Chains A and B, each alone.
Chain A
Amino acid sequence: MSESSENVSNENLGEQLAGEAAVRTRSLWKDAVGRLLRNRLSIIGLIITLFLIISALFGPYIAPYSYTEQDLLNVAKMPSPDHWLGTDEIGRDLFSRVLWGARTATLVAIFTTFISVIIGVIVGAIAGYGGALADNITGRIIDIVMSVPGLLLAALIAVSIKEPVVTWAENIYDTTGFPLFADTTWLDLLVVFGGLAFVSWPGYARLIRGQIFSLREEQYIEAAKSVGVSELKIALRHLLPNAIGPVIVTLTFSFSSAMVLESSLSYLGIGVQPPQASWGNMIASNIGSWSYRPWLVAVPALTLAIVTLGINFLGDGLNDALNPRSKRSI
């Protein structure tokens, strides 16, 4: 009798603890959101990021003109009611092209971040779980990739794989006749994704490895191990939720740096090719005439600057919100 009542009370205690834990988890995220919204800079960042996402999703519907439509009577005109931000050197509406550029930048940033996170998590997990040898080998590979400036390596890769990718797509088109492979614009994007993903995964791999190594020392992981919870379950139930904060912060920062890298490649004529709109190639094609058509350079440049600033402010705010202990330490 007394035994069963003890059991019941134990169960109750367990439920109580679980309940408390649940409340706690919620309040942690609530706390994070609260901290994020209290920070004025991160609110500005959030608004800018929302604007970017809206322009990327609905830009083509908002844009008053197409990104290729030329108005040859109004070439390189200052902003006017017809063309809110003026027209470019061959008479295209600048406002519409900036909106299309938002779509290019966001698309590249999302895909690059996605691919590099996957590679980074896999490599990081191998380094963290594969033992000393695997850790050493992956560490060396990361060092090698990081010893070349990211932009140069991405550019070299993009230049090198461009032809093979195009031939590959042509071959597929010749054999299958699939209309998708006749269009070369997304191949440019594919080449850029490849180059950028190759240079951006090491950051994630290092982060994941570091998280695995530092969290493994925590007592709750040790406790879980000692009661016989499997490695996989520990990874999914304990490591993942605890590592998610730093990963989200890194995601935000690398989102903006992927955007900048895409613009840089496009600026150098390697990435997104005209007439496709990219803020990078818009700046590049007008940089020579900055002194007499300053708005043609200033509009895409300011857009890129504001967007990267905004995303970085958001990332910084998220860093403070999600990792309150490591406040602003790099």
Chain B
Amino acid sequence: MFFYTVKRLAIAVPTFIAVLLITFTLTVISPFDPVAMMMTQFEGTLDTLAKEEVIERIRDQYGLNDSYWVQFSRWIGRLMQGDLGISINGQRNVLRMIVKTFPISFQLGLAGAVVTTILGIPLGCIAALKQNTWIDYTIVGGTLGFRTVPVFVLAPLLLVLFVLVLDIMRVPRGWDGLFQSKVVLPVFILALGPLPVVVRQTRAAVLEVFSMDYVRTAKMKGLHMWRIILRHILRNALIPVVTTLGFIAEGLIVGSIFLDSIFAIPGFGGVAEAGFRGFDYPVIMGVTMVSAVMIILTNLIVDLVYPFLDPRIKIE
């Protein structure tokens, strides 16, 4: 087990470093110049001749004239100390922006993941048990629809439907903690994104388990159908669903980018959206890296937990 963990870590760490390399390279080719940004506040106070010299001096001082690899390692060093830079719009500490908003998004994401699981597993089971009937087609086809319909399409349509047409709720805005009625719609929308993955995975797993000898034996013994499902099928079918956690995490992160501003939730996604809209490089880089860490970590945890759930997986 120890070696397996080390091996998994040995894969996760270089992956993350490569992500850092891509992010850094992109900002090197990008138009963002921190010194030019700094100079804008001295506009008019320096005459043009000295300005070039001052810029050169500052560039030297901050090491911006060093080679790519020197800059990259210095940047990594700063990251290690938790320095993600200062945002261009508003001059705020990027790490602090993320730390402040992340817990809110994490709670929403967790709630979304729970709802996805609670909805997805029964739906997947039903679809499998009613394989190739209209019920199966409706469940699979219906959830399939949400696989690509993005949050910024779904959210306004559902708002129009629930608030304007059906008039059954007030406009849900803001964040006062997780256990508030206004959280219901955002969480539901978040949960719909990864739902089809869970449904399909459960359906396929149940179908596979269904053909196993022990299920046939249980059936022949005359066990009740629901008992077979709970005791024999679900336990084994749940295992593959765990592997979809990485997808779920990605769906939740991307979903929150659009969701936060629509529902005025002060979350991680809102920081990302504002960063993109304002072409705010330090924010964009910070958000991308934190998201990559989340997904790599989720996949790592899945890899580490999986052998415990499924004894058939042998750890080399």
Contact = CB atoms under 8 A, between A and B. Distances in A.
Interface stretch (A20-28, A57-65, A308-316): A308-316
B19 A147 contact: yes
Query: Interface centre among A144, A150, A304, A308, by most B CB within 10 Å?
Result: A144
B295 A301 contact: no
B276 A260 contact: no
Given A148-B295, A283-B156, A312-B147, A329 B204 contact: yes
B29 interface: yes
Interface residues of A, number: 50
Interface in B21-42: 22-23, 26-27, 29-31
Query: Interface centre among B148, B273, B279, by most A CB within 10 Å?
Result: B148
B118 interface: no
A305 B137 contact: no
A268 B277 contact: yes
B110 interface: no
Interface string B243-272: 000000010011001100010000000001
Contacts of B287: 152
Contact residue range for chain B?
A: 35 or more
Interface in A234-287: 256-257, 260, 263-264, 267-270, 280, 283-284, 287
A313 B156 contact: no
Contact of B140 (A153, A263, A294, A328): A328
Interface string A296-330: 01100110110011001100100000000000111
A270 B15 contact: no
A302 B157 CA distance: 8
B189 to A, nearest CB: 13
Interface in B83-126: none
Given A283-B156, A291-B163, A148 B258 contact: no
Given A270-B276, A294-B160, A309-B149, A148 B291 contact: yes
Query: Interface centre among A150, A256, A328, by most B CB within 10 Å?
Result: A328
A330 B200 contact: yes
Interface in B155-183: 156-157, 159-160, 163-164, 171
6 contacts: A151-B257, A160-B30, A263-B150, A280-B152, A302-B157, A305-B153
Given A270-B276, A316-B144, 10 more contacts: A143-B11, A147-B295, A147-B296, A148-B288, A148-B291, A260-B149, A269-B276, A298-B157, A304-B150, A305-B154
Interface of B: 11, 14-16, 18-19, 22-23, 26-27, 29-31, 137, 140-141, 144-145, 147-150, 152-154, 156-157, 159-160, 163-164, 171, 200-201, 203-204, 250, 253-254, 257-258, 262, 272-273, 276-277, 279, 281, 284-285, 287-288, 291-292, 295-296, 299
> Which 6 A/B pairs are nearest by Cβ-Cβ distance?
A163-B31, A160-B30, A160-B26, A144-B18, A301-B153, A268-B276
